[in-house]
Amino acid sequence: MAALNHIAILPILVPMAAVIANLLLGNLRPPSRVRLNLAFSVVLALVSILLLVALAQSDGHLAAVYPLGNWPVPFGIVLVADRLAAVMVLVTSILSLAALVYASARWHSRGTNFFPLFHALTMGLNGAFLTGDLFNLFVFFELLLAASYGLTLHGGGRNQVKAALHYIAINLVASFLFLIGVALIYATTGTLNMADIARAVPLIAPDDRGLFDAGAAVLGVAFLIKAGSWPLHFWLPRTYSSAAPPVAALFAVMTKVGFYAILRLWTLVFANSSGPELAFGQNVLLVLGLATISFGSIGALSSKALDRLASYLILVSAGTLLLAVGYNAPGVTSGALYYVVVATLAAGALFLLKDVIDQILPAEAQVLAVSLEIYGDEEEAADDVDEVSRTVPGAATLVSWCFAIAALIMAGLPPLSGFVSKFAMISAALGAGPTAATWWFIAALIVSGFLVLVAMVRNGINIFWTSLPDSDTPLVRTAELAPIVVLLALCVALALAAGPAMAFFTETAAFIHSPQGYVDVVLPREATP
Amino acid sequence: MPFLACILAYALQGRLSSGAVYVSGGVAALLFLITLLLFPQISAVGVLSHRIEWIPQLGLNLTLRMDGLAWLFCVLITLIGLLVVLYARYYMSPKDPVARFYALLLAFMGAMLGLVLSGNIIQLAVFWELTGLVSFLLIGYWYHRGDARDGARMALIVTGMGGLALFVAMLLIGHIVGSYELDDVLASGSTLVDSPLYPVTLILFLLAAFTKSAQFPFQFWLPNAMTAPTPVSAYLHSATMVKAGVFLLTRFWPVMSDSELWFAIVTYTGLATLIFGAAAALFQRDLKGLLAYSTISHLGLITTLLGMGTPLAAVAAIFHIANHATFKASLFMVVGIIDHETGTRDVRKLSGLRRFMPFTATFAIIACGAMAGVPLLNGFLSKEMFFTETAVFNPNAFVNLSLPIGATIAGMLSVAYSIKFVHGVFFGPPPTELDRVPHEPPALMRRPMELLVVVCLAVGIIPGITIGPFLASAVQSVLGADTPYYSLSVWHGFNWPLLMSLLAMLGGVVIYVPYYRRFRDVDGLPFLTRFRGQRIFERLLVNATNKWARSFIELFGTQRLQPQIFIVVLLALLAGVAAGWARMGNLPLPESFDPVLGLVWVLGGVSAIAAAQQARFHRLAAMILMGGAGLATCITFAWLSAPDLALTQLLAEIATTVLILLGLRWLPKRLPVPDDLTLRSRARRARDIGLAVLVGLGAALASYAVMTRGAPTGISEFFLANAYKQGGGTNVVNVMLVDFRGFDTMGEITVLGVVALTVFALLRRFRPAADSADRPEQQRLLDGSAEGQRLADDFLRIPALIMTWLFPVVIAIAIYMLLRGHDLPGGGFIAGIILSLAFILQYMANGTRWVEERLRVLPVLWIGWGLGLAMLTGLGAMALGAPFLTSAFAYAEIPLIGKIPLATALLFDLGVFALVVGATVLMLIALAHQSIRRPKPAGSAKPREREGLAKWN
Amino acid sequence: MELILAAAIGVLAASGVYLILRPRTFQVIIGLSLISYAVNLFILAMGRLRMDAAPILDGANANPADYVDPVPQALVLTAIVIGFAMTALFLVVLLAARGLTGNDHVDGKLD
């Protein structure tokens, strides 16, 4: 247990050490610097795996609780690594490793201080997932935001700066909302520890309850901004698509942080405090989720460039997750967790893929393809074309396969993991007894899947069939192709091992949906009256 | 059965293998043999099944289940697959990268087998999609052709939609029945039909089946799919894949067909398709197009049969599935041969080929006969059964009339286009417009086709022996116990059906003759050429993806910042009010009033509002006013017993101001212009003000409510009680920062460091706008001459001197602040800011160059060490086994300063101090440095590497 | 006293919000600073107001009842620092945007 506890903080400390190392060893030659950073990322990934394994093996609904400074809970800050947190941390670490490998090929040299910022972002993400303290959550949010600002601007041209301006402005407002929310919650509950808040909510004086709800609502808005919910997400596609590909890949996790925070607090604090605000909030989440998902999928339909498409896909997944949270049923949640992992990895891969494709294809070819599609090509009659297909260069074939896999996952088509997750969610929703919400839920998932399919097919055809240059084998670095392949391979593996994976997620969801268990783990007995 | 499973797997992964002809052929043959060998078992046992667990807890398993029906399909799939492979061997050009082709073909075979063998309905949906995906790749095999791309895309989108519909339908069925296992579903009897969800389920279900089997109105994708290589058309689009839809109907026929809804929809969709397809087939120039439409119409026929819901009809349907597969596949091969030999598939160019390729001709004629339903051929038998079924008396008068008549008309048409095929291609004068002389194809290319035709004959003449048993078992598996009696003999005596087919024969000829005279050059149905499904579809797609989606995004989204912020703030306000208003409780009136604070805030508030009003044109004024507000805030902090806050706020205030001052220079000059008084801008301003006021009210209300309530018993006592005993400091706030909540501080300083790095990285490539690129006139004025330079030095000399002397003092103050922080107001952050302000003073006094020459601080290193120190402090605790950041402390006497706490927290605070110094200095310097650069304005070439800044990283 | 502070928070917040809704980057940054004042005061207020009760203990034996709640102060301190950092960052980005787009409109479009 003690060992486990110390593992719990490492996902935060390792990246921090990486930041420090980068700062102190400023005059390191590029190759060795790259190696250093890769080493740190690898270690981080290992640590995360260790954490998850340790949690999975320790039986039942156990979460590692780590009191910082050894102060008694709830007074000091505490890290709580339950399975949910551990999974998110693992996803973050893997994705960051992949992105870092990718970046180490070219991108890191596009601007100053890439590596420290990158590790800082990882640190912020992991911290946000692990912490069990509301204000500490704020701090880590700020950390990951600050890092993300820096990375958005990385190698900044005009677009980056313009996008970043909006991004920063909106998120600064969001931070203020966050503070106000936290302040109100503290004012009414007198504590900052999440578990302790969950304990204190029933004890709030009836008069103060309104204040508490207001604070929670404001906090919720702050989270929704992070989660990329409609109509608070307009900054997102622009920011993501203008950020450097490896950065964008890691950003794929960032919206999930919002989702995580909502899920955690929602299930922990509100789900058990039954009242009007429960149903209300639930409906709000459902509606927002629907709006987001439709906006995202239609946006995907409208987007011609792959990076934009990917950004909208991020929105689609965000909407799906909001729906799942709003549905507030363990079965659906477990499906959603599976979905988070898959969607995040696939989206990250897609962002990287986009960059590779840009290397293979001249941009004007893609533009031509698009116009060709819109206006048709009269000059090309069917007969005068030889009925001999082309041999596709090897690298391009691999890339196209990656694209196909990513497309299948994103559209949730069988037989890949995207399909499994949707199947899990829908069947759980049906199993929970169909209500009006169920039909909306199913319709949203299916229709969005269809639209995404159409969008992906269009782009795929335009990229690989219309404008693939003949015969010349384009140069693609292995260091850039490998991470993509690995990420997608993971998704496929998840589909094959769907059985055990779903079992794991089911337990996780069960734990999330029984807040008392969480509270008991975090708070020592005497603290809970 | 597991044996078959592994073969199936092999077929699937054949996709990856180099997929030579022999591999694929071998696999196909092997599968075929296995299937054949399995028949005895099937006929004996009825159902074989084998299960592989996938996601048991969701009831989703990989179940392979073979019964008569599945067996029949397996035979079709494998046999025709085998033949097609052989055929393609000669059809495909040697230059083609055939590996991909065969691999895909194999993959399809695997998917199709999986589809017909799946014993789990979800798995069925899975393989269903797979067939769609593979066929997409096969249709698009010649992807350099625009029409191939469009055809492929259309096929995928239409069938993909169907697949998703099927997925939902299956989920619903599973939900109703309570299991996803096919056995359970088939055993469920009338549960489905009775369930309230039946209609929606049925609709989705049929949507899937109809899209796949190209039923009206979804038929349009099939002709466009003909852009695929002919073997593919023969295999997928006549024999197997398009049969998947009717397979589905047959599969679920027992449990779903027993309802009026089913009858109405299925039968008449089928009938419509039947007639439409036949008619359209007549008006095709392209032979493949003709076959495609005839396929559609035949599928329609099968659908109609299934729709009628009588057992005998089902028998006929199954029978016709097999028949159609055989003769249509062979005909496609014929077309392929013709295309291959003559280089065209256009009926007008072709004629009289009988002389050049007699064998092909004969076989083709026979096959066509089967298609038309000529006696002694298999087509005839199933068509007879069809007519019989339609002729059965039905109480509903409309049905009673429409079915037989429609059937007869369709019969005529199909005869007509069969004649067209034969007559148009093989008879008449020798072809004139051909660029080469056609001749018989290589024997092996013919064999497959010939074999199939032979089958047609065999079945047609001696059905009882050839197909009887197989058909029987298939029918058994569908109908189960209540299998009716049916006879497969050729001659049923003179009755209605016979009359109808005779009518059809004659009618066909009668139709064809005038057609041949008048319409032979018409392409596409004369009265339908206007809107073709394809056109509509393409338009729809293009519009949907370009115009509509775009406008939707513009309607519900925005790229501009102001609306976004507006929405955010508004939403936050609404959320807060909506959630809070209900149980806000009552607000007591203020009891105490404090004149001084009141006065302070009269000023503060006024300056805030004034700042808001001034910020547009008078930046400096706005800043000073803002400073006023800030000052008021500081005073309030001090007043309300928060000295640390007051200090920190003040210093942060100063630092910010300095930064903004340094930055102002790069903003464009603004002269107050009379702001536009258009109604619109006025309205917007009013709207913003309104929102602002509301937010202000909300915030004020909330805070007032909180302040007038009693505090809950929270965590605060603990800190007050233990700050000294366990934290070793009397300044509780500071103890919290460096100890109780040291982790926050660690994160916070990381943020500061990260921001500093970002700022630095950004300023490295800073490009001022053109109009502010040249230096401000003050500078130009000064360095115009040595005179000016001296002047500058003079009027800054005294302050420079003072500040240089001041430097050490400030440093001393900073250190003092740092050390006392634990007990009295002060601490790392405050000290850090003070120190960095000292540097700024130097900048102001002695100019950037002077400082940069003398400065010994390397900010990035300071940041690094600061973070490092903080972290090491924490790790130290870990080394001792305690959790991260556990603190220990002791007191030490130091002369002159007095008793100071030597807590590990102090080290931590030292780290904070170092980092703050580093970060702040880095930002200030980076910004200040811009003033001595000669930066190129934006849009010009890359700015040259700057020695000045190179020092800092 | 509470009333005054509440009013102050309200005024600061209102003028800040008005400013961040303006189209000029400089207005936005001023607005953000004003809002940050408001938020800091707001957080402080959450600890209820006490005068002359600074949380600086005299000696070991201190009675918690004599001191104001220190938690909000700690939070505000963190908030101030972060706010300072963010303001600086936003300022620089704003400058860069002005440099690259040639004007100081938030959307970078020409007036």
* pLDDT per residue as tens digits for the range C55-87: 777 765 667 777 888 888 888 988 988 888 898
B346: pLDDT strictly greater than 70: yes
Mutate: best of B757, B875, B917, B940, partner A, most A CBs <10 A: B757
B666 interaction partners in chain C (CB closer than 8 Å): 95, 98-99
Of the listed ranges B66-80, B226-240, B640-654, B766-780, the one predicted with least confidence: B766-780
- Per-residue pLDDT, A71: 79
Cβ atoms of A216 and A322 closer than 8 Å: no
Return the DSSP state at B951: T
- How many Å lie between the alpha carbon of C81 and the closest alpha carbon of chain A? 11
- Could you give the angle at the alpha carbon of A363 between the alpha carbons of A360 and A368, nearest 5°? 115
Res. A475 pLDDT band, cuts 50 70 90: low
Residue of C nearest to A188 (CA): C46
Mean pLDDT in residue range B564-591:
76
- The range of the structural domain enclosing residue C88 comes to 2-51+68-101
A326: pLDDT strictly greater than 70: yes
- Listed in sequence order, the residues at least 6 apart from A497 whose beta carbon sits closer than 8 Å to its beta carbon are none
Cβ atoms of B866 and B916 closer than 8 Å: yes
Cβ atoms of B406 and B271 closer than 8 Å: yes
- Per-residue pLDDT, B129: 86
A156 interaction partners in chain C (CB closer than 8 Å): 96
Q: Is the dihedral of CA B795, B799, B802, B803 positive or negative?
A: negative
Calpha distance A50→A266 (Å, rounded): 28
Side-chain half-sphere CA neighbours of B239 within 13 A: 32
- Per-residue pLDDT, A12: 85
Cβ atoms of A270 and A216 closer than 8 Å: yes
- Listed in sequence order, the residues at least 6 apart from B391 whose beta carbon sits closer than 8 Å to its beta carbon are B404, B496, B497, B500
Cβ atoms of B136 and B156 closer than 8 Å: yes
Calpha distance B455→B326 (Å, rounded): 7
Compare CB distances from C96 to A161, A173, A183 and report the shortest one's residue.
A161
C39 interaction partners in chain A (CB closer than 8 Å): 176, 179-180, 183
The total of other beta-carbon atoms located within 10 Å of residue B263's CB is 17
- Listed in sequence order, the residues at least 6 apart from B117 whose beta carbon sits closer than 8 Å to its beta carbon are B4, B8, B64, B65, B66, B70, B74
Calpha distance B478→B214 (Å, rounded): 23
B800-818 CB burial, b ≥16 within 10 A, e <16? beebeebbeebeebbeebb
pTM as predicted: 0.85
CA B198 to each of CA B176, B195, B206, B248, B886: distance values in angstroms, whole numbers, following the listed order: 9, 5, 12, 16, 65
Torsion of CA B901, B904, B908, B914, to 10 degrees: 70
More confident position, B328 or B726? B328
Q: Do B659 and C80 touch (CB under 8 A)?
A: no
Cβ atoms of A178 and A136 closer than 8 Å: no
A154-180 CB burial, b ≥16 within 10 A, e <16? bbbebebbbbbbbbbbbbbbbbbbbbb
Chain C, window 67-86: residues with a beta carbon less than 8 angstroms from a chain B beta carbon: 67-71, 73-74, 76-78, 80-86
The first and second tokens of residue A319, run together, are 């909407």
Helix (H, G, I), strand (E, B) or coil at B230: helix
Mutate: best of C24, C86, C91, C101, partner A, most A CBs <10 A: C86
Calpha distance A245→A350 (Å, rounded): 9
Calpha distance A90→A47 (Å, rounded): 9
- Per-residue pLDDT, B949: 39
Side-chain half-sphere CA neighbours of B398 within 13 A: 3
Q: Do B731 and C37 touch (CB under 8 A)?
A: no
Q: B770 and chain C: CB distance < 8 Å anywhere? A: yes
Res. B304 pLDDT band, cuts 50 70 90: confident
What is the tally of structural domains in chain C? Answer: 1
Cβ atoms of A176 and C36 closer than 8 Å: yes
More confident position, B441 or B273? B273
Cβ atoms of A201 and A212 closer than 8 Å: yes
**Residue A170 — φ and ψ, nearest 5°?**
-65, -40
* C95 domain-assigned: yes
* C60 domain-assigned: no
Cβ atoms of B708 and C2 closer than 8 Å: yes
- Listed in sequence order, the residues at least 6 apart from C79 whose beta carbon sits closer than 8 Å to its beta carbon are A179, C36, C39, C40, C43
B542 interaction partners in chain A (CB closer than 8 Å): 373-374
Cβ atoms of B765 and B775 closer than 8 Å: no
More confident position, B90 or A331? A331
Res. B867 pLDDT band, cuts 50 70 90: confident
Mean pLDDT in residue range B701-713:
79
Of the listed ranges A233-242, B141-150, B614-623, the one predicted with least confidence: B141-150
Q: Do A302 and B546 touch (CB under 8 A)?
A: yes
Residue of C nearest to B752 (CA): C85
Res. B817 pLDDT band, cuts 50 70 90: confident
Helix B397-426 vs helix B268-282: crossing angle, to nearest 10: 30
Side-chain half-sphere CA neighbours of C19 within 13 A: 34
The first and second tokens of residue A126, run together, are 């992991």
Of the listed ranges A151-155, A283-287, B52-56, B290-294, the one predicted with least confidence: B52-56
Percent residues over pLDDT 70 in chain B: 77
Compare CB distances from C90 to A158, A168, A179 and report the shortest one's residue.
A168
Span A157-213, pLDDT tens digits: 777 888 888 889 999 999 999 999 999 888 888 888 888 888 888 888 777 788 888
Span C5-56, pLDDT tens digits: 888 888 888 888 888 888 888 888 888 999 999 999 999 888 877 777 777 7
Return the DSSP state at B240: S
Q: Do A277 and B884 touch (CB under 8 A)?
A: no
Among left, alpha and beta (phi > 0; psi -120 to 50; other), residue A414 is beta
Q: B133 and chain A: CB distance < 8 Å anywhere? A: yes
- Could you give the angle at the alpha carbon of A395 between the alpha carbons of A394 and A396, nearest 5°? 90
| Beta bridge partners of residue B900, listed in sequence order | B892
B123: pLDDT strictly greater than 80: yes
Mutate: best of C39, C69, C73, partner B, most B CBs <10 A: C73
- Listed in sequence order, the residues at least 6 apart from B591 whose beta carbon sits closer than 8 Å to its beta carbon are none
| Beta bridge partners of residue B52, listed in sequence order | B62
B6: pLDDT strictly greater than 80: no
Amino acid letter, B96:
D
Calpha distance B230→A360 (Å, rounded): 32
The total of other beta-carbon atoms located within 10 Å of residue B944's CB is 10
Task: Identify the CATH number of the domain in which residue C7 sits.
Answer: 1.10.287
Residue of B nearest to A183 (CA): B703
- Per-residue pLDDT, B792: 55
- How many Å lie between the alpha carbon of C94 and the closest alpha carbon of chain A? 7
Res. B943 pLDDT band, cuts 50 70 90: very low
Alpha helices (H) along B529-675: 533-543, 549-556, 561-581, 595-614, 619-639, 643-664
* C30 domain-assigned: yes
Calpha distance B455→B323 (Å, rounded): 9
* C109 domain-assigned: no
CA A117 to each of CA A12, B641, B679: distance values in angstroms, whole numbers, following the listed order: 14, 38, 47
Helix (H, G, I), strand (E, B) or coil at B906: helix
C103 interaction partners in chain A (CB closer than 8 Å): none
- Listed in sequence order, the residues at least 6 apart from B346 whose beta carbon sits closer than 8 Å to its beta carbon are B285, B286, B287
Q: Do C97 and A165 touch (CB under 8 A)?
A: yes
- Per-residue pLDDT, B184: 84
Residue of B755, B770, A170 whose CA lies nearest to C92: B755
Residue of A132, A194, A506 whose CA lies nearest to A329: A506
Mutate: best of B562, B665, B731, B732, partner C, most C CBs <10 A: B732
Of the listed ranges A255-259, A376-380, B525-529, the one predicted with least confidence: A376-380
Of the listed ranges A95-99, A292-296, B607-611, the one predicted with least confidence: B607-611
Q: Do A66 and B884 touch (CB under 8 A)?
A: yes
ipTM for this prediction: 0.88
B645: pLDDT strictly greater than 50: yes
Of the listed ranges A156-165, B554-563, B696-705, the one predicted with least confidence: B554-563
* C76 domain-assigned: yes
Calpha distance A306→A402 (Å, rounded): 14
Q: B721 and chain A: CB distance < 8 Å anywhere? A: no
Q: Do C103 and B769 touch (CB under 8 A)?
A: yes
How many contacts does A have with B, using Cβ atoms within 8 A? 377
- Per-residue pLDDT, B192: 78
B305: pLDDT strictly greater than 70: yes
Res. B358 pLDDT band, cuts 50 70 90: confident
Of the listed ranges B354-358, B405-409, B703-707, B936-940, the one predicted with least confidence: B936-940
* C13 domain-assigned: yes
Residue of C nearest to A135 (CA): C75
Burial (CB count <10 Å: 0-12, 13-18, 19+), residue A423 = buried
Full DSSP string of B72-129: HHHHHHHHHHHHHHHHHHHHS-TTS-HHHHHHHHHHHHHHHHHHHHB-BHHHHHHHHH
Compare CB distances from A172 to C72, C90, C100 and report the shortest one's residue.
C90
A8: pLDDT strictly greater than 50: yes
Span A119-172, pLDDT tens digits: 999 999 999 999 888 999 999 999 999 999 888 887 767 778 888 888 899 999
Calpha distance B946→B101 (Å, rounded): 58
CA B675 to each of CA A328, A357, B369, B671, B685: distance values in angstroms, whole numbers, following the listed order: 51, 49, 86, 11, 11
Beta strands in A348-434 (DSSP E): none
Percent residues over pLDDT 90 in chain B: 0
| Beta bridge partners of residue B872, listed in sequence order | none
The first and second tokens of residue B380, run together, are 């005839």
Helix, strand, coil share of chain B (percent; to 5): 75, 5, 25
B474: pLDDT strictly greater than 70: yes
B941: pLDDT strictly greater than 70: no
Tell me what the pLDDT averaged over chain A comes to. Answer: 80
Compare CB distances from A234 to B174, B559, B885 and report the shortest one's residue.
B559
Res. B771 pLDDT band, cuts 50 70 90: low
A472: pLDDT strictly greater than 70: no
C25 interaction partners in chain A (CB closer than 8 Å): 165
Q: Is the dihedral of CA A33, A36, A42, A44 positive or negative?
A: negative
Amino acid letter, B14:
G
Cβ atoms of A387 and A473 closer than 8 Å: no
B721 interaction partners in chain C (CB closer than 8 Å): 62, 64
Residue of B336, B333, B343, B505 whose CA lies nearest to B419: B505
Of the listed ranges A436-450, B708-722, C5-19, the one predicted with least confidence: B708-722
B948: pLDDT strictly greater than 60: no
* C38 domain-assigned: yes
* C110 domain-assigned: no
B463: pLDDT strictly greater than 50: yes
Calpha distance B495→B944 (Å, rounded): 98
- How many Å lie between the alpha carbon of C86 and the closest alpha carbon of chain B? 7
Q: Do C5 and B623 touch (CB under 8 A)?
A: no
Q: Do B649 and C40 touch (CB under 8 A)?
A: yes
- Per-residue pLDDT, B786: 55
Res. A464 pLDDT band, cuts 50 70 90: confident
Q: C12 and chain B: CB distance < 8 Å anywhere? A: yes
Tell me what the pLDDT averaged over chain B comes to. Answer: 75
